[in-house]
Chains A and B, each alone.
Chain A
């Protein structure tokens, strides 16, 4: 493992990008903050706690999925990935580096949601730790989905459309901004194909907003392992 590369990639492509182009940061925050506002207005504030908890999940999922378009852009348009194939760095380090660089964009959003959570009296130290663990697993699964999608994309013109569709399917339809119990069981299980669904259900459970549904823990873990394994082969590192 070339962790030095992973960290340097994340630092340069994450922090330095934010410093030189703050608009990326605003773009990353815009969708989750808008949805938070809409949920607050439409529910007259009654679902605000759900929206804050779901905001964490939505933010991480949105940003991880954005890396799908970027991974494809770097591979197809800039040939950047090809540059690193004949080096001592492998697909895993590259994938993690790119994912971490994107996660840097989520830090301000997470801080904002944490402040909201504090004022709503739902944020405790234990819950924060549990949430952090949940988000790490969610990152692995959603970023893996991104790399699978980006590996399937052959033409750069398809990249942004697919990323936009994915963003809706994987972050807005799942019960990130509303109680999962609103969904019929069959719909919940169908939506569980997206890692955001089990993550949102677990998050609502952690914060005591909805009843526990323990089956979602193995669902999320298995999805993460499966998606990560597939993604390693789909990054088109050494092509056949």
Chain B
């Protein structure tokens, strides 16, 4: 279980990335959703002991992440945003090296790397230089590192950004194999919905909402989203789009007025908070 108290981070250039986050994360899969620059990466880097906050507290299963990072590091794996394997090294070498860095013996790391590559169906890529692999396979290599390490908490920063839909599905299936708790950042709503037991919405360094996907969507029960590209009265404007939430039974009327009708998604939770996403 992760617990933070008033976690704040202001960078040296004066940018306030986090402005006091207090949360408890205890579900198996938690997605942290937010726009670029919302503070997701800063938050996850602090939780994974890569970055010190300006103030506040953070604990992982009672271990002080700020004061006792060495102890916490035995329990966590963090796959950074846009991380890429060294092209000339093979997936096997990268995973083995990572496991040795975590304290495995050479033999344990060797055996574990082979077993995990097999588990994620990466056997055929095992000894190929990583720069010959597809984007999706490269991401799976990192998931493989996390899986092989047997860590109790895995942090993944935007694990599928930039991947094609098929590769994204492959990575999702790999993520589901991970043991322990998984905390990932994303700005893909469908990813959060597919993977998460709990969602944390962050904007401008603050938590603006938290809950299960179902509980967040239940606030829109019986509603649909009416969208128009031309200005309409009593609508919210988001870029060139005019939006209103209406009852499902009113949909036909709105269609005749030139609106498009869309089913409710997690996007709408953000829109209700006055935030737009690049889903």
Contact = CB atoms under 8 A, between A and B. Distances in A.
Contacts of B85: 78
Contacts of A82: 45, 50, 78, 80, 83
A108 to B, nearest CB: 18
Contacts of B103: 2, 87-88
B101 A79 contact: no
Interface in A1-40: 2, 4-5, 8-9, 12-13, 16-17, 20-21
A211 to B, nearest CB: 46
Contact of B78 (A8, A77, A83): A83
A120 B129 CA distance: 43
Contacts of B70: 88
Interface string B61-86: 00000000110111011111111111
Contacts of A189: none
A89 interface: yes
Interface string B132-157: 00000000000001000000000000
Contact of B102 (A9, A13, A78, A87): A87
Contacts of B89: 12-13, 16
Contacts of A238: 49-52, 69
A239 B85 CA distance: 22
B125 interface: no
Given A2-B101, A86-B78, A88-B102, A8 B96 contact: yes
Given A83-B78, A84-B101, A85-B50, A78 B88 contact: no
A164 to B, nearest CB: 22
Query: Which has the most chain B C-beta neighbours within 10 Å: A20, A82, A87?
Result: A87
A118 interface: no
Interface residues of B, number: 36
A240 interface: yes
Interface residues of A, number: 27
Contacts of B106: 4, 8
A88 B85 CA distance: 20
B101 A239 contact: no
B98 A79 contact: no
B66 to A, nearest CB: 10
Nearest to A18: B88
Contacts of A84: 98, 101
Interface string A71-94: 000100111101111111100000
A86 B74 CA distance: 8
Contacts of B129: 20
Nearest to A17: B88
A70 to B, nearest CB: 10
B81 A86 contact: no
Interface string B97-112: 1101111011000000
Nearest to B149: A87
Nearest to B153: A86
B88 to A, nearest CB: 5
Interface of A: 2, 4-5, 8-9, 12-13, 16-17, 20-21, 74, 77-80, 82-89, 238-240
Given A82-B83, A85-B49, A239-B50, 13 more contacts: A8-B100, A16-B93, A20-B129, A78-B83, A79-B80, A80-B84, A80-B86, A83-B83, A86-B48, A86-B78, A87-B98, A89-B102, A238-B50
